[in-house]
Amino acid sequence: MDGSVGPMRVLVTGGSGLVGRAIERVVKTEGKEREGEEWIFLSSKEANLVSAEETRAAFEKHRPTHVIHLAAMVGGLYKNMRQNLDFWRNNVHINDNVLHTSQEFGVVKVVSCLSTCVFPDKTTYPIDETMMHNGAPHDSNYGYAYAKRMIDVHNRALFQQYGLKYTAVIPTNMFGAHDNYNIEDGHVMPGLIHKTYLTYLAKKEGKPLQVWGSGRALRQFIYSLDLARLFLWVLREYDEVEPIILSVGEEDELTVKDAVDAVVEAFGFEGEVIYDTSKSDGQIKKTANNAKLRKYLPDFKFTPFKQAVKETCDWFVANYDTARK
């Protein structure tokens, strides 16, 4: 794929976020950068991609041949529930600007990042790539979910009308260094890591760790470095327009309580853990099938969950003052 157009100039939108920083680390420190490649990691400080003008200016400046599109307005369950309109409008603008400008500038391939929340709320499990448009998403974050679905619509139309092979990946719950650890608005794992760390620091007070929800919700967690390695494979090798789920297998699905236990163990927290069942669990399960990924990459090894959690907690402690929170 990449050999036919000479050296790749890869523009990564959302380059300073969780996945962008993981891709940067894999490219720069794991020797995954190929000769003649150039990687540009674009942050929201450099260009507000909600603006068509700023998006165009970034493409004028960098002239990419390939784009990894990660930029989005994101947030956890409770922020989504409060701001569905903002999530819809901002993400629709960002995605249309990036995909349309990529087409205008002759970008060979765009790999966009979706989320398992694009799938219908009422569905059969496990979910696979063919089921995205089979019903309405969960009502807690429908604005974000529909905006992400529209990337798939846009990609299919680009292929039909112009023959462009733009595609998308659908990761399950990702976590790792450089996440947003905001307790109110972050995703489940980073919010949990921050809250547990603060409770651990205040252990002299003997306060319990309070977890929102029942802890029964099921999730498949993917470490950001594993996801980054898979993104590189999709960019270079995956040749379908249809999206691909990037996830650990169904057998590795965990409860939120399992995640809490892993974080508690990583910090050595020995206090009481209380589950606040007055708070929403969100979707109880959204089990994804990774058979398509395994067909392509049967031998890919995911980082063991507890090891990934420990590395993430250690990073958070070491970078507490500068981490997003």
- What is 61-88 written as a DSSP string? HH--SEEEE-------HHHHHH-HHHHH
The pLDDT-based confidence of 3 (bands split at 50, 70, 90) is: very low
Return the active site residues.
144
305-318 and 188-201 helices, crossing angle to 10°: 60
Residue 155 contacts residue 166 (beta carbons within 8 Å): yes
**Predicted local confidence at residue 66, as pLDDT:** 98
Q: Which two tokens stand for residue 120?
A: 């219908």
pLDDT (tens digit, 9 = 90+) per residue, 58-116?
999 999 999 999 999 877 666 767 778 999 999 999 999 999 999 999 999 999 999 99
Residue 68: both structure tokens together:
């990894």
pLDDT digits over 213-252, tens only?
899 999 999 999 999 999 999 999 999 999 999 999 999 9
Average pLDDT value for residue range 148-168: 98
Give yes or no for a contact between 171 and 115, defined as CB atoms under 8 angstroms apart: yes
Please indicate, yes or no, whether the overall pTM of this predicted structure exceeds 0.85: yes
CATH number for the segment(s) 8-178+221-250+286-304: 3.40.50.720
pLDDT at 283 over 90: no
Q: Report pLDDT for 1.
A: 41
Domain segments of the chain: what residues? 8-178+221-250+286-304
Is the separation of the CB atoms in 181 and 133 below 8 Å? no
